[in-house]
Structure 1
Amino acid sequence: MGKDKLRKFAEIDTFANVLQLDAGKGMKGQWAAKHFGNDRPIVLELACGKGEYSVNLAKLFPTYNFIGVDYKGNRIWRGAKTALEEGIPNVAFLRIQIENILDYFAENEVSEIWITFPDPQPQKSREKKRLTNPFFLAKYREILIPEGIMHLKTDNDGLFVYTQEKLTELGLDIHAQTSDLYRSDVLDEVLSIKTYYEKKYLETAKNINYIKWGWL
């Protein structure tokens, strides 16, 4: 591991808005009250990377609590540091493996989930690692409120089609979908938030896929 990564890992250990691994388990069922000190809805950004979505959503919606979830601490460092520097109190970061999410959030604790440009895991042998695999969808359903919704933004056309297929197979309610977000009529202020990787994809004229769904 390079010196810069080591520095960032050491630094996030001192950040009040970052919880890592077992330290986050004590928040299960109590994130709003215990960490944020309120009773506002919880919104997750999974595979948050540098946390651009979490930070910008927190700015747009100060009456919600946002938590960016990722395992790579050197990436989380950027979003967490920005939030501290800009005094954004309603965003936090959790460094865990997403497959263990049920250890950190209680049933019906989360109002909304964003999945932003995750690793598409294109190999067939790694299908179970895709964050929209039914294995993961079942976990999200457990922690979401009954009317909770989910969003996926991805540059990967294969993951988008795979997600469409799985949602249809499971009989889930697709609220909106497009294979070319920035030329669609679903684009709004929230969907216009761009991650570090999304900006790179757009520079090469890559289309951005988006799908929104729920269980009702």
Structure 2
Amino acid sequence: MGSKNKLKRFRENETFSNVIQPTREEVLNGFLLKGKWHTHFNNNNPIILELGCGKGEYTIALARKNPNINYIGVDIKGARFWRGAKIALEENLSNVAFLRTQIELIDLLFGENEVSEIWITFPDPQIKYTRTKHRLTNADFLSKYNTILKPNGIVNLKTDSEFMHGYTLGLLHGAGHEVLYAHHDIYKNYESPKEVTSTQTFYESQYLEKGKPITYIQFRIKQ
């Protein structure tokens, strides 16, 4: 994407009512919507996050299917989720928002027990050992998720990375978290949850065309 295109999208994001872009200072000094996200949506419906939402395809697809649930796509790359934000506005999806921020700040952006469910879709597996701290399912991130999730809140990890799948599964079992479902190739397992196989990102469909297996884990974090 050219720099002019990015700048144009950044400018448009600033005009979108469904895009929230706090500065780092605003987050660190007390984010105004923390614990009060119901005021943005004007309802008390459950809140579900998609972390590293990219273009927002998953966020949009889930929001279309579940109008009584609020969805927030979270990503630091606003030029990417611009597309999802634009589609949501065009389709009058009032249950969609996009939050431009670093995911490591997630516990400063949402209040305790404010989130019902988290989706992590095709994250960078950060395979190098030196990148362990950036893996979205490491122990530190799970601790942050646990802070904002309601009791019995669910986390979903969908990835094409066998490494990420194995790493996460091993960590979950080792720490005593509750694994509700796990499979290394969900499209070849007839018992896979329908909402997992019926929603695909652009890149996911490409992986499937190449015969690459898609893995999935659903789990609860030990309180």
For residues 27-74 of structure 1, give each alpha carbon's deviation from its aligned partner in whole angstroms, at most 9, with x where no partner exists.
100112x10000111100001001111111111111111000000011
User: Do structure 1's residue 209 and structure 2's residue 210 form an aligned pair?
Assistant: no
Alpha-carbon distance in 2 for matches of 1:158, 1:38: 39
> How high is the TM-score relative to the length of structure 1?
0.96
The answer (yes or no) to whether the contact 1:43–1:64 under 8 Å persists in 2 is yes
The answer (yes or no) to whether the contact 2:124–2:135 under 8 Å persists in 1 is yes
> How high is the TM-score relative to the length of structure 2?
0.93
The answer (yes or no) to whether the contact 1:151–1:211 under 8 Å persists in 2 is yes
Q: Aligned ranges for residues 113-132 of structure 1 at < 5 Å?
A: 113-132=118-137
Alpha-carbon distance in 1 for matches of 2:108, 2:168: 25
Matched AA of 1:89? S
| Corresponding residue for residue 8 of structure 2 | 7
Percent of paired sites with the same residue: 51
Shift of 1:114: 0.3
| Corresponding residue for residue 196 of structure 1 | 202
Shift of 1:167: 0.5
Q: Aligned ranges for residues 77-92 of structure 1 at < 5 Å?
A: 77-92=82-97
The answer (yes or no) to whether the contact 2:142–2:221 under 8 Å persists in 1 is no
User: Do structure 1's residue 177 and structure 2's residue 178 form an aligned pair?
Assistant: no
The answer (yes or no) to whether the contact 1:174–1:211 under 8 Å persists in 2 is yes
For residues 96-153 of structure 1, give each alpha carbon's deviation from its aligned partner in whole angstroms, at most 9, with x where no partner exists.
0000011110010000000000111111110110000001000000000011001000
User: Do structure 1's residue 101 and structure 2's residue 106 form an aligned pair?
Assistant: yes
Deviation >2 Å, runs of 4+: 21-25, 185-189
The answer (yes or no) to whether the contact 1:146–1:215 under 8 Å persists in 2 is no
Shift of 1:186: 3.5
Alpha-carbon distance in 2 for matches of 1:197, 1:44: 20
The answer (yes or no) to whether the contact 1:50–1:196 under 8 Å persists in 2 is no
Matched AA of 2:150? I
For 1:137, which of 135, 142, 163 is the aligned residue?
A: 142
- What is the root-mean-square deviation in Å for CA atoms of aligned residues? 1.3
Q: How many residues align?
A: 215
